[in-house]
A and B are shown apart, each in its own frame.
Chain A
């Protein structure tokens, strides 16, 4: 099942994020965020920051916010499971936060290990008060990305832009 070319959607999201003033792209590698992270790495006004665990990205983005900078945290859906307690910072501290979640364990998934956390992404984010915008098809991408950026840095919310497997295409094994 083929989704859109990752370079195409990643470029659109990257451009919107740069336009919104995002300078740090913290990430745990995922096939889904590879092109986006490569763009951040190549651009001279943004920096890709490799994390060991996704929860570091929450604290890192909060640290950037304290000095007036903007960071996003890019992770696979499984990484959402590493974040809940650190999201206390977002809810309690009212830190703006934008997570970019590329889904596994979703539409068309073939790896049974991915289903439990993949299916729990929505409830886990909701439980920690993170606003979620899902991208199911190409038409959703730009409005959802703009809405997520506004919810974070105008609305002061914790927000996740969730790129579904229906949109990204399931990983073939």
Chain B
């Protein structure tokens, strides 16, 4: 496996040219900062700051409860592996409105950059495929990112994209650390958008 060279800070902008199309969940640490930077911490983003392993199942709950909306989970390799069984729960329920993007730097960035399983032998797209997810891919360069953006639009859901990136800092963005505030903000925006949709 060649060493990935992608800068993680350039990933989400290519994958989500119009992030407002999505309800978004971000796993803790770097993923939360990258997703908050992408959306300027939109009120359609719920970003974890703890409860490691919760991002995929939260996205699943959202996708099942709002089947007419597109839901994206952005998370890291360590966060995903904390609760890898959630991929099977996603595959069992098959929400076609759910996409999972894993920013895989092979490191536990938040705690000092310690090496993770994916820097050794673990392949997350194969794990997702083995869990039963119908559409999975891995990308590791700029051309791949473009393909992944098309994949997120067109591949049958639920989709899983593993983006292998170089170890390096996430976006320099100060996101909210108050989950209660984030919940209320998200729910308020959801209620307002629902009222508009109902006319």
Contact = CB atoms under 8 A, between A and B. Distances in A.
A95 interface: yes
A130 interface: no
A50 B89 contact: yes
B50 interface: yes
Nearest to B87: A52
A147 interface: no
Nearest to A85: B51
Classify chain A: how many residues form its interface, as a range: 20 to 34
A79 to B, nearest CB: 13
5 contacts: A55-B53, A58-B51, A68-B190, A68-B191, A93-B182
Contacts of A24: 61, 64-65
A49 B93 contact: yes
Contact of B85 (A23, A53, A88): A53
B52 A56 contact: no
B60 A63 contact: yes
Contacts of A58: 51, 54, 57
Interface in B49-69: 50-66, 69
Interface in A26-77: 26, 47, 49-53, 55-69, 71
A86 interface: yes
B61 A52 contact: no
A62 B88 CA distance: 19
Contacts of A50: 89, 92-93
Interface in A94-112: 94-95
A69 B86 contact: no
Contact of A93 (B61, B92, B180, B190): B180
Contacts of B126: none
Interface in B1-37: 23, 25
Contacts of B187: 65-66, 68
A89 interface: yes
Contacts of B194: 68
B179 interface: yes
B1 to A, nearest CB: 27
Interface of A: 23-24, 26, 47, 49-53, 55-69, 71, 85-86, 88-89, 92-95
B83 A53 contact: yes
Contacts, number: 125
A92 B58 contact: no
Contact of B65 (A55, A71, A94): A71
Nearest to B49: A92
Contacts of B54: 55, 58-59, 62, 86, 89
B186 interface: yes
Contacts of A65: 61, 183, 187
Contact of B59 (A63, A71, A88, A95): A63
Contacts of B65: 23-24, 63-64, 67-69, 71
Given A63-B65, A67-B62, A52 B89 contact: yes
A123 to B, nearest CB: 20
Given A49-B64, A92-B50, A66 B183 contact: yes
Contacts of B83: 52-53, 55-56
A95 B59 CA distance: 15
A66 B179 CA distance: 12
B37 to A, nearest CB: 21
